Amino acid sequence: MVAHLLLLVVIICYAPTSSTAAGGEVPFYDDCPSTADGTYAANSTYQSNLAALAAELIRNSTEYGSAAGSFGAAPDAVYGVALCRGDSKGSLCAGYLRDAFDAAMNRTNRPLCELRKNVTLYYDRFQLRFSDVDFVSGYGNEPEWPLNNTNLVNASVAGRFREHVAALLNATADDAAARPDRYGTGDSWFQEEGSMVYGLVQCTRDMDPGRCRACLQRIISEMPRMLDASQIGGRVLGVRCLLRYEMASNSFFHIDNRTLHLQKQPNPKTWPIIVAVAGVAVCISCFFLFRELKRRRRRARVRSELRRLSMAVQNVITLWRLEEGNSGFKLYDFSDIKDATNNFSSESLLGKGGFGSVYRGQMPSGPEVAAKRLAACSGQGLLEFKNEIQLVARLQHRNLVRLLGCCIEGDQEKILVYEYMPNKSLDVFIFDNVKRELLDWPKRLHIIHGISQGLLYLHEHSTVCVVHRDLKASNVLLDAEMNAKISDFGIARIFGSNAAQSSTTRIVGTIGYIAPEYALDGVCSSKADVFSFGVLILEIISGKRTGGSYRYNVDGKLYCLIAYAWLLWKDGRWYELIDECLGDRHYASIRTCMQVALLCVQEDAEDRKAMDEVVKMLSNEQAASLPEPKHSAYFNVRPRAGGDAPPSACNISISMITPR
Q: What's the pLDDT score for residue 632?
A: 87
Instruction: Give the residue, 256 or 532, on which the prediction is more confident.
Output: 532
Q: What's the pLDDT score for residue 182?
A: 95
What's the residue count for the chain? Answer: 660
Least confident of 83-87, 184-188, 373-377, 537-541: 373-377
Cα 621 versus chain centre, distance: 37
> Using CB atoms within 10 A of its CB, is residue 299 exposed (0-12), middle (13-18) or buried (19+)?
exposed
**Percent of the chain having pLDDT more than 90?**
48
CB-based contact 447:540 (threshold 8 Å): yes
- Summarize the confidence of residues 538-544 as an average pLDDT: 96
134 is catalytic: no
Distance CA 231, CA 227 (A): 8
Domain 309-419 homologous superfamily, CATH: Phosphorylase Kinase; domain 1 (3.30.200.20)
DSSP state letter for 422: T
Instruction: Give the residue, 656 or 476, on which the prediction is more confident.
Output: 476
Q: What's the pLDDT score for residue 639?
A: 42
Q: What's the pLDDT score for residue 319?
A: 59
Domain 149-266 homologous superfamily, CATH: Gnk2 domain, C-X8-C-X2-C motif (3.30.430.20)
Q: Give the global pTM.
A: 0.52
Examine domains 2-131 and 149-266 and report if their fold is the same: yes
User: Residue 129 pairs with which residues in a beta bridge?
Assistant: 81, 120
Domain layout of the chain by residue ranges:
2-131, 149-266, 309-419, 427-657
The answer regarding whether domain 427-657 maps to CATH 1.10.510.10 reads yes
| pLDDT above 80 (res 305) | no
Please tell me the CATH code under which domain 2-131 is placed: 3.30.430.20
114-153 tens-digit pLDDT: 889 999 999 999 999 999 999 999 999 999 999 988 888 8
Q: What's the pLDDT score for residue 218?
A: 95
Q: What's the pLDDT score for residue 352?
A: 80
Least confident of 279-283, 305-309, 368-372, 478-482: 305-309
Instruction: Give the residue, 401 or 286, on which the prediction is more confident.
Output: 401
* Annotated catalytic residue within 30, 99, 470, 488: 470
Q: What is the DSSP string of 38-101?
A: SB--TT-HHHHHHHHHHHHHHHHHHHHSEEEEEES-TTS-EEEEEEE-TTS-HHHHHHHHHHHH
Q: List CB contacts of 401: < 8 A, sequence separation 6 or more.
A: 392, 418, 419, 421, 477, 485, 486, 487
Q: What's the pLDDT score for residue 615?
A: 94
- Summarize the confidence of residues 34-62 as an average pLDDT: 90
One-letter amino acid for residue 39 of the chain: T
Instruction: Give the residue, 612 or 555, on which the prediction is more confident.
Output: 612
Q: What's the pLDDT score for residue 350?
A: 87
Q: What's the pLDDT score for residue 651?
A: 46
Is residue 176 very low, low, confident or very high in pLDDT (cuts 50, 70, 90)? very high
Mean pLDDT of the chain: 83
Q: What's the pLDDT score for residue 385?
A: 74
Q: What's the pLDDT score for residue 9?
A: 34
| pLDDT above 80 (res 534) | yes
- Summarize the confidence of residues 430-438 as an average pLDDT: 93
Q: State the binding site.
A: 372
- Summarize the confidence of residues 512-528 as an average pLDDT: 88
| pLDDT above 50 (res 648) | no
Q: What's the pLDDT score for residue 399?
A: 95
User: Residue 503 pairs with which residues in a beta bridge?
Assistant: 523
Q: State the binding site for ATP.
A: 372
Least confident of 186-190, 387-391, 419-423: 387-391
Is residue 624 very low, low, confident or very high in pLDDT (cuts 50, 70, 90)? low
